[in-house]
Amino acid sequence: ARPVMRRMTTSYYTLGRSGLRVSRLCLGTMTFGTEWGWGADETTARALFERYVAWGGNFFDTADLYTNGTSELWLGKFVRELRLRDKAVIATKFSYSAAAGDPNAGGNGRKNIVRALEGSLRRLETDYVDLYLLHTWDTLTPAEEVARAFDDLVRSGKVRYVGLSDTPAWYAARLATLCEQRAWAPPITLQLEYSLVERGIEDEFVALGRELGLGLVAWSPLASGLLSGKYRNGGDGRLKLLAASGNPAFTKLTERNIAIVEELERVAAELGRSMAQVALAWVLGRAGVASVIVGATRLAQLEDNLAAAELELPRKLVERLDAASARAPSFPYSFFTPAMQSMQTGGVPVGDRPPSYWRPTLHEAAPARVQ
């Protein structure tokens, strides 16, 4: 194994209401492999992995179907080569099928959850996964079935923690509450798309995460490269290659989003930073966000992204980005504005509860005693 110099330049957050510490930037490995027509070859993927580890990163995201399994194979190989299994926090996911004609080779039923995990363990060459995630809601499987299957896998030792990705808020809330009531292993994270051009999770998921102890992990913080500025002058990339794929994650080239990119470019120029760094720093600064997934196909891209972890945006520039990317609240959230809420209090302003109202938690310092 080749030694890697570990120059720690990152910080770590506990993931949700757990003791699992993860770096603020997570290395997404969906780019490991070229089977999908884009991505990094093995030599480049190894260089990306080693640079991230040298930076101090410990959080790696993959899925059983990423690049037809190559992502997990290479990630497991790189972790083994550098003897990092105890230090690495490996997250992988299940839901999608690779077996045409087999109705049980995908989805979120217990049969597929267990089948998919066994395949991931083989490809990753490990006997456990640190974080196992439901990749996408299948609109069918009851939350009880998923939650109990998760608990069984945690008790078996093959999974350390569990979480959810791309589910409705009500489903995540039901599953988390069932786990709380029945003393099953609880979900500790919600992995969701979040960026300047996709702020839909702010309606419910941020509050849900705070209420139920689910740390948010943001995927596609650069909107598949849109927020890096690569499409400003007709550049090519995934958004153009997959525009007709039917995947909503790749329908980003809209007039609204182009206007956001233009404001982002102005803000980045004022700071003397890249557009990608500013876009990532914006997501890192949002409420409830524990970690942000970054993916790259070139080492220079990763270097640029890692620099975002140390960037603190001035408040006035954040407000400009917020305004440029603002969304009109949809029903029923349009009823939760201060003006509407004042109708319930006879016009008397009601602010937030004072800090002393809440019971101290493990994450809050208790008031000092007066001697």
Catalytic-labelled residue, pool 12, 66, 132, 231: 66
For 98-145, the three-class secondary structure string (H helix, E strand, C coil) is CCCCCCCCCCCCHHHHHHHHHHHHHHHCCCCEEEEEECCCCCCCCHHH
DSSP per position, 49-72: HHHHHHHT--EEE--TTGGGGHHH
Write phi, then psi, for 360 (nearest 5 degrees): -60, 145
Q: Is residue 161 flagged as an active site residue? A: no
**Can you give the C-alpha Rg of the chain in angstroms?**
21
8 A C-beta contact, residue 22 and residue 291? yes
User: How far is Cα 281 from Cα 294, in angstroms, rounded to an integer?
Assistant: 12
Distance CA 30, CA 12 (A): 22
Give CA–CA dist 294/291, Å, rounded: 10
38: buried, middle or exposed (CB in 10 Å: 19+, 13-18, 0-12)?
middle
Distance CA(56)–CA(64), nearest Å, equals 25
- Burial category of 4 from C-beta neighbours within 10 Å (exposed 0-12, middle 13-18, buried 19 and up): middle
Query: Position of tokens 């989003």?
Result: 257
Continuous segment of H or E residues that includes residue 294? strand 289-294
Active site residues: 66
